[in-house]
Structure 1
Amino acid sequence: MLILSPSHYNKIMVSLIMFLLSMASQTLAVNVALSTETDKIALLVLKDKLTNGDPHALSSWNESLHFCAWEGITCSRRHMRVSALQLQNQYWGGTIAPSLGNLTFLRVINLTNINLHGEIPREVGHLKRLQFLGLSNNNLHGEIPIEMINCSSLEVIIMWQNNLTGKVPSWLGSMMQLTHLGLAVNNFVGSIPPSLGNLSSLEALSLGVNHLEGRITPALGRLSNLKFLSLSSNNFSGQVTPSLYNLSNIQVLDFARNHLMGTLLSNIPLAFPNLKMFTCGGNRFIGTFPSSISNLSELQLFDISVNNFHGPISPTLGSLHKLQIFNVGHNRFGNGRDHDLDFLFSLTNCTQLQNLDFYENYLGGVLPDIIGNLSTNLVLLDMALNQISGRIPEGIGKLVNLATLDMEENFLGGTIPDSMGKLKNLGELWLSENKFYGNIPLVIGNLTMLSDVDLSSNEFEGLIPFTLGYCTNMQKFSASENNLSGNIPNQTFGNQQGLIQLLLYSNSFTGPIPSDLGNLNHLSILDLQDNKLIGEIPTRLSACTALTELVLERNSFHGSIPSFLGSLLSLEILDLSNNNFSSTIPHELVNLTFLSMLNVSFNHLYGEVPVGGVFNNVTAISLVGNKDLCGGIPQLNLPACPMLPSQKRSLKKRVILFIAFGGVLISFVAFISIYLFKKKAKNLYTTSLALQYGYVKVSYRELHQATNGFSSSNLVGTGSFGSVYRGILVHFERPVAVKVLNLQTRGASKSFMAECKALGKIKHRNLVSILTCCSSVDYKGNDFKAIVFEFMPNGSLETLLHNAIEDSESTNMSLNLMQRVNIALDIAFALDYLHNGSGEAVVHCDVKPSNVLLDNEVVAHLGDFGLARLIHGDACRSSSNHASSSAIKGTIGYIPPEYGAGSPVSVEGDMYSYGILLLEMITGKKPTDSMFGEGLSLHNFCNMATLDGITEIVDSRLLIPIDHQEGRVTQQQNMEDTIQECLVSFASIGVACSQEFPNQRMSIKDVITELLAIKQKLSC
């Protein structure tokens, strides 16, 4: 038996320990390497799914960098494993790959606002270390996977604004570490699970804007740490459970827009001493005003509107020094007597007050002078639909930040104080249905921000002040049902280019309709009925192509019913009754496909009633009181139209003359054709183009002088077939644009002839007007061809969209959303005219921003008809269209896909190009942008955004910056909601127009209707 000495034994043991440590370290190194490789593989799979395989996305995720240095990745120092994944605010539109579950060291996941779709993978349940999960503002659907119950370390779950469905999981009540649970703005159903009452650490619970129902569970009263509770916009019913009054730490309490009933706790401050925001509007609560809220020193927002509260409003609110919004509208406060408005005295101490709403109650008494002592921060003051009397105090002028003043439907009277002229920020002024009298004050012209004014149903008298013309932002003006008189002044409403509604009915106006109303190309409603107006309908109203309602009944208009009314294709209501019109009914009115009401009764009309359009609907037309009408459809029961003897003789003569001179005419035409065919001098033949369409003839010498010898300083742009110069011609008062064709370019001569031919046959306010053309030789004897147009000082739409200054006089002007909607409408009106309103259908073939030119008033004009095709009737939709050719017509990015496959040009092709143009207008991105390719196009890019995340793709200049200070709710936020809704609608139109298949594309008339609706919404 071998006996080891102690020294030998120690050496052997040391060697053995070193061997074991070496083996362990090698094993640990292998395991670490395997683990990190697992994370890397999982991330690469995740990238492919999140970004839809976009090679340009997450460019740092490559082999040249360790994955811990990749964008959005944080690793733990000890294990070098992924501990945080934060990739918010992107626009990839991908899905969450199941490989996410392999990142088992993850503590933070933030994939907010990256347009995710698909479901939340079950593999998330593998992430037992996960503490923060942020998936909000995406398009995820399906139920929350039950496997997440394993993520017991979760502290924050934020999934609001998705399309998640099913019930709120009851197993969430087992996640004892949760401090924030946000599931608002989804499609959850069922009731609130009582198990949520177990979450003793919960500080914020947001379940608003879902489809939850039933009673609010009493279990929520156990959440002693809760500071934020939002249950708004659901279907909760019954009374508020008393247990909620145990939430002594609550700061935000939101029950708005449910079916709750009962009374509120009288002593709210005792229950909620830290309350900052309280809203229960839009329910069925009853009881009196909780006067104890005056003890809530932190209160910023108080909204109990649209309920059934009654009694007086507490006059002890002056201690609420942080109050910003106070809304008690649409209740039953007050009794129509004095002292109902005493609460206003205390509110003068609330110096932060911005919104004050007490509309639609029973508040009476005289409006106190102290109204002018309210906070100078006040933006909105709404006291409409009450029983308030007295005058508007002079002190109103102190509220210098007031943007909305609504006093309609009260018993107010007196004159409008001149101090109102100090409200320079006032945009909305509603004083209708009161007892105001006197003149509309001249100081109204100081309020240049006014956009919506309603003075109707009062006792105003005198003239419309000329100073109203200074209010150039006006969109709606109503002074109907007053005692106003005199002429409707010229150069007043005509200066208000954005005016949409003008209502002056039931007054005593005299004189004619001002001709400058023809400047109002956005006017939708013009109601002048029941006045003493005379004269004829001015021809310039033909430019008001956006008109939907024209009401002129009960006046003294005379003359003919103008045929141009048939070109106002948006008309829905036309009332010319009870006047002195004496003519036939224009047959052109049958073109008004949207017309649902036509009243021409009680005039002196005669002759045949047209057949077709609105005339085929007996319930939509009124013809009574015109005894000399005949014909029409049988249901009208009018006599047949006789042929008079003179008509018979005239017809006989015309037949004889036609036979006699037919041969001579044919011979003459043949002679002229042969003569022109044999003409050798090109310049004599082509110069006659100018005379053919009635243009002033212009020579090469004149154009050379007008453009400084076609100098580069006069160059304003270049195109496919030539260059455009600015010039001054003696024949015209304004600058002109001279398009000089580069005849060396193939197709330039054909483009010249096509453009002259197209523009010679069509005229419309939204088409670039051709002034003349020139085909001659230059000083070197070379052929020269040029077309002269109106000069558009604001350049092209492309220039303004992409901030490129094309000449020294251009301005880097940023187009706002309303301007872009107006431009889109202008182009739509132009296309509607080309496709449907000019006899022969014209297909433009090259609709794009560089071919849209803007005049001084930023009115859009569609130009460059070098590729245009004239098509007869429905041939534009026929597969055998003879206007097609083997060459693809248009510009890359805007060419419809069917043209590439050899299909003929069509109006649907123009609609595709127009749709791409709209998407470029809203995103600020060209269809040829480098980001598009490999399956992603501008159309697809926007199509995904219309479902969710519109603000992430739009041109940033269209978004309003919002103050996101905690607890701050401003009128600007409401504006942002409206703008986002309009942005989605605008983008949806562009997507609908640029569908792949022609028969799926939106029609131009539907486009006009939708754009007008957007415009109306923006104007409100």
Structure 2
Amino acid sequence: MRLFLLLAFNALMQLEAYGFTDESDRQALLEIKSQVSESKRDALSAWNNSFPLCSWKWVRCGRKHKRVTRLDLGGLQLGGVISPSIGNLSFLIYLDLSNNSFGGTIPQEMGNLFRLKYLAVGFNYLEGEIPASLSNCSRLLYLDLFSNNLGDGVPSELGSLRKLLYLYLGLNDLKGKFPVFIRNLTSLIVLNLGYNHLEGEIPDDIAMLSQMVSLTLTMNNFSGVFPPAFYNLSSLENLYLLGNGFSGNLKPDFGNLLPNIHELSLHGNFLTGAIPTTLANISTLEMFGIGKNRMTGSISPNFGKLENLHYLELANNSLGSYSFGDLAFLDALTNCSHLHGLSVSYNRLGGALPTSIVNMSTELTVLNLKGNLIYGSIPHDIGNLIGLQSLLLADNLLTGPLPTSLGNLVGLGELILFSNSFEGIVPPSLGDCSHMLDLQIGYNKLNGTIPKEIMQIPTLVHLNMESNSLSGSLPNDIGRLQNLVELLLGNNNLSGHLPQTLGKCLSMEVIYLQENHFDGTIPDIKGLMGVKKVDLSNNNLSGSISEYFENFSKLEYLNLSDNNFEGRVPTEGIFQNATLVSVFGNKNLCGSIKELKLKPCIAQAPPVETRHPSLLKKVAIGVSVGIALLLLLFIVSLSWFKKRKNNQKINNSAPSTLEIFHEKLSYGDLRNATDGFSSSNIVGSGSFGTVFKALLQTENKIVAVKVLNMQRRGAMKSFMAECESLKDIRHRNLVKLLTACASIDFQGNEFRALIYEFMPNGSLDKWLHPEEVEEIHRPSRTLTLLERLNIAIDVASVLDYLHVHCHEPIAHCDLKPSNILLDDDLTAHVSDFGLARLLLKFDQESFFNQLSSAGVRGTIGYAAPEYGMGGQPSIHGDVYSFGVLVLEMFTGKRPTNELFGGNFTLNSYTKAALPERVLDIADKSILHSGLRVGFPVLECLKGILDVGLRCCEESPLNRLATSEAAKELISIRERFFKTRRTARR
């Protein structure tokens, strides 16, 4: 009996411990929910008394005692503060509150969670001190406080966390010396203290952290000689010390002391001496950066032994001796078959550029040899480096012609060759570099004309050919450079009239055409409202100075001196500040601005009524005749228009659009070309049909054939809408409609098909969501940040063309990733105009407005909100869809993701994260694609997502125009490259 009572009492005690007290967990969770911002509570809507505690979303319980052991709220964008009641979840083992928007302080009560092993509150807005009470969580293995606003020092009490393996305290406002207690955390594997305000020297006893694999002290104020204690951390794989004040020499046997290093970043310190040759003994080394230090000596060819080397960054030192042999390491690096980036700019390297560079890794994306005394010529076979995106050889002594094989580098974004002695012509093959952003070949000895092919590079942002001996005229095709920001052609021998098409370069900010032989008048460039600097001095230009210069609100420099201008100089705008304007050397100018030292203008001509009567009579007759002719033209046009409209009403079938195509194909032709419309040739499907890959035997050409499902209501209208939309429009970012087929099949059924140019890289959709694609069709890699940005610019450019520059505005009405196709170079082509609408300004009842099915407004998630309320198709609707597309491209989340519902949308999800939390929502595949996250990447992502948000504003009138969206994205791309170039220096 006594044993029974004892067992019963023990059972009651266990129930008390494990059964009844789950109510305290329930109340703690409800209290946590109550402290979350009201607008952010939707994610916790299941936390109520209607469900058992252990079935609540984001909550896990132990199997036996049914107490909360895991609370996973990371990445839910929760706001508010962290409730002190968190400390009542006494059985908690795993707590993740990271990637949210919590403010306030970390509750001291967290120290009550003595069973806790995993604690993550990184990427929030927490402030105040780190609670010393966390030292009570003695079982902690993982502590992440990364990227908050935590201040002051690190409490020494944390030194009692002897089991801690991971400690992330980076990106805060921590101050003071290196936390000496860390030496007691002898189990530490990862320590990140980067991006704080810590200072002083590193204590020797850090050597006690003998298990350390990754150590990050980046961007603090640590000083002193390179810490000898680091040499004892032989297990280190990643050591990041960039942006501090470390000095002294590196030990010659560095590579033998740290034999397991994968990434070693020492950039931006005050290190001196030679680069240890023993680094070549570290077979695991993938990245070595020691740029912006004071290193001397030679660059060892031994780096060529590092088969795993990806990045070698030695810029801004004093390496080399300006002599033969300095570049021997380049020969050796041809053995590094996975080398992606090499930067040795602004050192003391001399000698001839070896031809062996053409044998370097085809994975090489950056080759930067700027700012040395390298001579010789660029090898002709430089085009072998097919992966090259940046070739930077400026500020050297290079000579010879520019190789035509540069045109093989189709992915080249930067070609920086200024300040050398290159000779010969500018190769027209450069026009094949269709992704070029920055072409700088100024300050050389180039001659000949400017190839018109260069004016056909649609992505070009900077064009610098100044200070050469170029002749001929400025090509009319200059107007095709819609993204051009800087045009620098000064100090050449160019002549002729400036082309009127210059006024079409709407992104232009800098125009330097000085010291040439241009004549004629200044073309109409009044549309260039963003222009900042204009220099047309020392030419033979004539005519008057146009008053539209007064309206350029951003103009900060205008030089028109030493020309043949005449007439009155404007007085408003920039002309009110004579220090910003130069017009001297124009003898026939006059004006009233004293600082410009102009002669006064003569009196105005007499009013019309005082002039000779015969002249007045001639003017009156001319005006009368002109009005009569205009009236007659209006009557004829109106009659034609009414007749056309009546004909359309009588014949309700589709207008004959097929005769516009140069080639006719039959049903049999297409059946043979698709192997009987075999399922193995299907490359896509949509609402009204299926797309097949087809081989046209007559031309041995691969095309895409969209076969309409004529049983589907609206298919014929979709067919005609696509024909009408694409028959008269041409743009590099539109899918090209080659021809169409209107026939009957072998069973006598109506057959309709559209034949397009084939896009080998398929749709953008499969690149953004490869996990949803069959493995055989899955892309071999992910899209990089720059590739996505280029695609977004492509789409914005074509929308601007459809909305503004067509004969009549066209609304696509169904913009989404599956309707954006990618060619060999990943250039985007917008497709599927089955729902498109011509937005005729004067005939709202025209035939074409009836083509698409009534009520169809695009795809859920991408369609503008006004469409759901019966709104008519408009260019504003396309802008909304484009905004959603941009957000999807850079967050990796569809607008229909299960995470979203009610008022919580992809739009609000993104808006809540900007600007500080951009890394939380960015598509992780971007950040894992070899891109090193830093300031330019963060700013780039912030800017892009901001453009996306402004495009998908709720109100149509508040949305960006596509032209503005394109300009801003191009500007973001420009700043990204500029910041990255600056960082490389």
The answer, yes or no, to whether TM exceeds 0.5 is yes
CA distance in 1 between counterparts of 2:459 and 2:891 reads: 24
The yes-or-no answer on 1:989 pairing with 2:951 is no
Report the more deviating stretch, 498-507 or 851-860: 851-860
When residues 901 and 854 of structure 1 are mapped into structure 2, their CA distance, relative to the original with a 3 A threshold, is closer
Superposition deviation, residue 497 in structure 1: 3.9
Percent same amino acid among aligned pairs? 29
Supply the AA of the counterpart residue of 1:459: S
2:745 paired residue number: none
1:373 paired residue number: 332
CA distance in 2 between counterparts of 1:357 and 1:351 reads: 16
CA distance in 1 between counterparts of 2:737 and 2:561 reads: 41
CA distance in 1 between counterparts of 2:550 and 2:734 reads: 24
Supply the AA of the counterpart residue of 1:986: I
CA distance in 2 between counterparts of 1:850 and 1:218 reads: 53
CA contact (8 A) 2:33 2:44 kept: no
Superposition deviation, residue 485 in structure 1: 1.5
2:513 paired residue number: 552
Correspondences of 1:87-486 after superposition (within 5 Å): 103=68, 106=69, 108-265=70-227, 267-268=228-229, 271-300=232-261, 301-334=263-296, 340-341=297-298, 344-365=300-321, 366=323, 367-368=325-326, 370-371=328-329, 372-374=331-333, 376=336, 377-400=338-361, 401-418=363-380, 420-486=382-448
When residues 737 and 516 of structure 1 are mapped into structure 2, their CA distance, relative to the original with a 3 A threshold, is farther
When residues 819 and 359 of structure 1 are mapped into structure 2, their CA distance, relative to the original with a 3 A threshold, is closer
CA contact (8 A) 1:765 1:861 kept: no
CA distance in 2 between counterparts of 1:393 and 1:1006 reads: 45
When residues 680 and 954 of structure 1 are mapped into structure 2, their CA distance, relative to the original with a 3 A threshold, is closer
Correspondences of 1:1002-1013 after superposition (within 5 Å): 1007-1013=965-971
- Alpha-carbon displacement from aligned partner over 1:469-521 (angstroms, at most 9, x marks no partner): 45444332211111112223343x25644332221111111223345555544
2:751 paired residue number: none
- Matched pairs, number: 912
When residues 581 and 860 of structure 1 are mapped into structure 2, their CA distance, relative to the original with a 3 A threshold, is farther
Q: Pick from 896, 911, 926 the counterpart of residue 959 of structure 1.
A: 926
Superposition deviation, residue 27 in structure 1: 9.2
Superposition deviation, residue 409 in structure 1: 1.2
CA contact (8 A) 2:520 2:542 kept: yes
Superposition deviation, residue 148 in structure 1: 1.4
Superposition deviation, residue 549 in structure 1: 2.7
Helix, strand or coil: the match of 1:387? Answer: coil
2:532 paired residue number: 572
CA distance in 2 between counterparts of 1:55 and 1:273 reads: 46
When residues 42 and 314 of structure 1 are mapped into structure 2, their CA distance, relative to the original with a 3 A threshold, is closer
1:628 paired residue number: 588
CA contact (8 A) 2:28 2:88 kept: no
CA contact (8 A) 2:526 2:548 kept: yes
CA contact (8 A) 2:24 2:88 kept: no
When residues 31 and 736 of structure 1 are mapped into structure 2, their CA distance, relative to the original with a 3 A threshold, is closer
Correspondences of 1:13-24 after superposition (within 5 Å): none
CA contact (8 A) 1:577 1:602 kept: yes
Supply the AA of the counterpart residue of 1:941: Y
- Alpha-carbon displacement from aligned partner over 1:36-94 (angstroms, at most 9, x marks no partner): 687789889989989944699999x978xx95798873533xx2414xxxxxxxxxxxx
Supply the AA of the counterpart residue of 1:192: V
CA distance in 1 between counterparts of 2:279 and 2:409 reads: 32
Q: Pick from 61, 66, 69 the counterpart of residue 81 of structure 1.
A: 66
The yes-or-no answer on 1:940 pairing with 2:898 is no
Superposition deviation, residue 822 in structure 1: 4.7
- Alpha-carbon displacement from aligned partner over 1:410-452 (angstroms, at most 9, x marks no partner): 1222233456554343332211111122223445445444322
Helix, strand or coil: the match of 2:271? Answer: strand
When residues 391 and 325 of structure 1 are mapped into structure 2, their CA distance, relative to the original with a 3 A threshold, is same
When residues 110 and 917 of structure 1 are mapped into structure 2, their CA distance, relative to the original with a 3 A threshold, is closer
Gaps of 5+ in 1: 1-13, 83-102, 335-339, 691-697, 725-734, 772-788, 805-810, 872-886, 963-971
Supply the AA of the counterpart residue of 1:942: T
CA distance in 1 between counterparts of 2:810 and 2:215 reads: 59
Helix, strand or coil: the match of 2:526? Answer: helix
Superposition deviation, residue 530 in structure 1: 0.9
When residues 594 and 832 of structure 1 are mapped into structure 2, their CA distance, relative to the original with a 3 A threshold, is farther
CA contact (8 A) 1:39 1:81 kept: no
Correspondences of 1:655-804 after superposition (within 5 Å): 655-658=620-623, 682=647
CA contact (8 A) 2:795 2:829 kept: no
CA distance in 1 between counterparts of 2:705 and 2:541 reads: 43
CA distance in 1 between counterparts of 2:276 and 2:704 reads: 68
When residues 292 and 622 of structure 1 are mapped into structure 2, their CA distance, relative to the original with a 3 A threshold, is same
2:699 paired residue number: none
Superposition deviation, residue 188 in structure 1: 0.9
- Alpha-carbon displacement from aligned partner over 1:71-130 (angstroms, at most 9, x marks no partner): 873533xx2414xxxxxxxxxxxxxxxxxxxx3xx2x44444443433322122123343
Q: Pick from 491, 506, 509 the counterpart of residue 530 of structure 1.
A: 491
When residues 684 and 119 of structure 1 are mapped into structure 2, their CA distance, relative to the original with a 3 A threshold, is closer
Superposition deviation, residue 346 in structure 1: 4.6
CA distance in 1 between counterparts of 2:944 and 2:412 reads: 25
Report the more deviating stretch, 853-862 or 980-989: 853-862
CA contact (8 A) 1:294 1:318 kept: yes
Superposition deviation, residue 457 in structure 1: 0.7
CA contact (8 A) 1:395 1:419 kept: no
Larger of the two Rg values belongs to structure:
1
CA contact (8 A) 2:19 2:65 kept: no
CA distance in 1 between counterparts of 2:704 and 2:257 reads: 68
The yes-or-no answer on 1:1015 pairing with 2:978 is no
TM-score by structure 2 length?
0.74
User: Alpha carbon RMSD of aligned pairs, Å?
Assistant: 6.0
When residues 631 and 763 of structure 1 are mapped into structure 2, their CA distance, relative to the original with a 3 A threshold, is farther
When residues 41 and 659 of structure 1 are mapped into structure 2, their CA distance, relative to the original with a 3 A threshold, is same
CA contact (8 A) 1:631 1:640 kept: no
Superposition deviation, residue 900 in structure 1: 8.4
Helix, strand or coil: the match of 1:302? Answer: strand
CA distance in 2 between counterparts of 1:424 and 1:766 reads: 23
CA contact (8 A) 2:44 2:57 kept: no
Helix, strand or coil: the match of 1:413? Answer: strand
CA distance in 2 between counterparts of 1:763 and 1:607 reads: 42
CA distance in 2 between counterparts of 1:421 and 1:699 reads: 44
Superposition deviation, residue 528 in structure 1: 1.5
Correspondences of 1:959-978 after superposition (within 5 Å): 959=926, 961-962=928-929, 972-974=930-932
CA distance in 2 between counterparts of 1:942 and 1:513 reads: 44
When residues 700 and 253 of structure 1 are mapped into structure 2, their CA distance, relative to the original with a 3 A threshold, is closer
Supply the AA of the counterpart residue of 1:73: R
When residues 846 and 196 of structure 1 are mapped into structure 2, their CA distance, relative to the original with a 3 A threshold, is same
When residues 822 and 545 of structure 1 are mapped into structure 2, their CA distance, relative to the original with a 3 A threshold, is farther
- Alpha-carbon displacement from aligned partner over 1:290-312 (angstroms, at most 9, x marks no partner): 33424314241333322222334
CA distance in 1 between counterparts of 2:644 and 2:456 reads: 52
CA contact (8 A) 1:464 1:484 kept: yes
Helix, strand or coil: the match of 1:291? Answer: coil
Superposition deviation, residue 147 in structure 1: 0.7
CA distance in 2 between counterparts of 1:166 and 1:326 reads: 36
- Alpha-carbon displacement from aligned partner over 1:500-547 (angstroms, at most 9, x marks no partner): 222111111122334555554433322211111223334555654443
TM-score by structure 1 length?
0.72
CA distance in 2 between counterparts of 1:408 and 1:936 reads: 49
Report the more deviating stretch, 368-377 or 635-644: 635-644
CA distance in 1 between counterparts of 2:829 and 2:893 reads: 22
When residues 945 and 406 of structure 1 are mapped into structure 2, their CA distance, relative to the original with a 3 A threshold, is same
